[in-house]
Amino acid sequence: MNKNKYKEIVNRNTPKEECFKNGIIAFLVGGTIGALGELLLRCYMMWLNLPRKESGILVTLTFVAIASILTALGIFDVLVTKVKAALFIPITGFAHSMTSAALEYKHEGLVLGIGTNIFKLAGTVILYGVVSVYVFGLIRLLTIGG
């Protein structure tokens, strides 16, 4: 039996992932998180009398703190299995990836454990985030002049 024939056997016995349903859930829950962020942004601006930019940073910090605490309590990963991409695409997912790695490698020590592994998952986001910002910044500079 060749590999293509086997692939047919595998395909006809493998269930389809519910991409559409998962997408809708992620859209609704992720959208709600975004809306909450906007609400929080306005609140910080109003309560603390901050300009929009500083208030935005505070919102990011709030979400990072909440995601990290939920990760440490073992709640975040359970939530992700329910709402899928809604939680790990926003900044909450980034914080979660670092906290979970730090928790996992604490037994290997502060330097070789946590230090070496904390960016295990987040490192790729940082690297390609920086690279793409550079590329798109350059495109913007060349087309509309900054």
Among residues 42 and 106, whose Cβ is nearest to other proteins?
106
Per the listing, tokens 């039996």 go with 1
Minimum CB separation of residue 104 from other proteins in Å reads 4
Among residues 10 and 144, whose Cβ is nearest to other proteins?
10
Distances (CA, A) of 19 to 7, 22, 104: 21, 5, 30
Instruction: List residues near other proteins by CB under 8 A.
Output: 1, 3, 5-7, 9-10, 12-15, 17, 22, 71-72, 74, 76-81, 84-85, 87-88, 96-97, 99-101, 103-105, 107, 120-121
Give the integer Cα–Cα distance in Å for 127 and 17. Answer: 30
Minimum CB separation of residue 120 from other proteins in Å reads 7
Give the integer Cα–Cα distance in Å for 114 and 73. Answer: 18
Among residues 23 and 137, whose Cβ is nearest to other proteins?
23
Minimum CB separation of residue 50 from other proteins in Å reads 32
Give the integer Cα–Cα distance in Å for 120 and 98. Answer: 8
Max distance between CA atoms of the chain, in angstroms, equals 71
